[in-house]
């Protein structure tokens, strides 16, 4: 039984590492998106909006320990920001590398050439889904164990 409990502790530590790593990545990415302001070809509004989404997602993931509902919002924002990054990357490859009008050919090129990056994108989506599910589980546990109002 103690061996089993030891594995549960390791899983808990791994969950904390995943949550904090994703939050740090989003926070770093959120602040570095403001560098897009220097490039005149990018819209200032969209750069600030993406930086805000990623920064709020990171803080939401970290606040999970106090308020799981905010952690769920952080998980949803993390999924949204990762999706926006993927679409932005495909669009950038389409416009700057391939210089074509076809979004599908850019996607095909990314699948063919950028397999390592796709693996990292899949890991990011998996980490965001894990954090969202973990926050939802903590929220439900908090609601179930809360005393009934009189």
Q: Give pLDDT tens digits for 5-44.
A: 666 677 778 888 999 999 988 888 765 655 554 455 666 7
Q: What's the pTM value of the predicted model, to 2 decimals?
A: 0.78
The two structure tokens encoding residue 3: 């061996």
Is residue 34 domain-resident? yes
Query: Would you say residue 114 lies in a domain?
Result: yes
Q: Among 25, 9, 5, 17, which Cα is nearest to 130's?
A: 17
64 part of a folded domain: yes
Per the structure, the complete domain to which residue 31 belongs is given by: 2-145
Residue 77: both structure tokens together: 């924002």
Residue 150 domain-assigned (yes or no): no
pLDDT tens-digit map of 115-126: 666 777 788 899
Summarised one tens digit per residue, pLDDT across range 102-118 is 777 777 777 776 666 67
Domain count, the chain: 1
């Amino acid at each position: 039984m103690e061996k089993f409990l030891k594995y549960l502790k390791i899983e808990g530590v791994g969950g904390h590492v995943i949550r904090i790593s994703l939050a740090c990545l989003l926070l770093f990415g959120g602040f570095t998106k403001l560098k897009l302001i220097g490039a005149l070809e990018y819209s200032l509004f969209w750069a600030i909006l993406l930086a805000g989404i990623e920064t709020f997602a990171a803080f939401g993931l970290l606040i999970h320990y106090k308020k799981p509902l905010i952690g769920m919002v952080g998980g949803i924002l993390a999924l949204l920001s990762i999706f926006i990054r993927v679409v932005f990357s495909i669009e950038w490859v389409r416009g700057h590398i391939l210089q074509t009008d076809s979004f599908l050919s850019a996607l095909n090129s990314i699948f063919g050439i950028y397999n390592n990056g796709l693996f990292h994108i899949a890991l990011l989506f998996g980490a965001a889904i894990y954090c969202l599910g973990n926050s939802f589980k903590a929220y439900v546990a908090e609601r179930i164990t809360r005393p009934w109002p009189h």
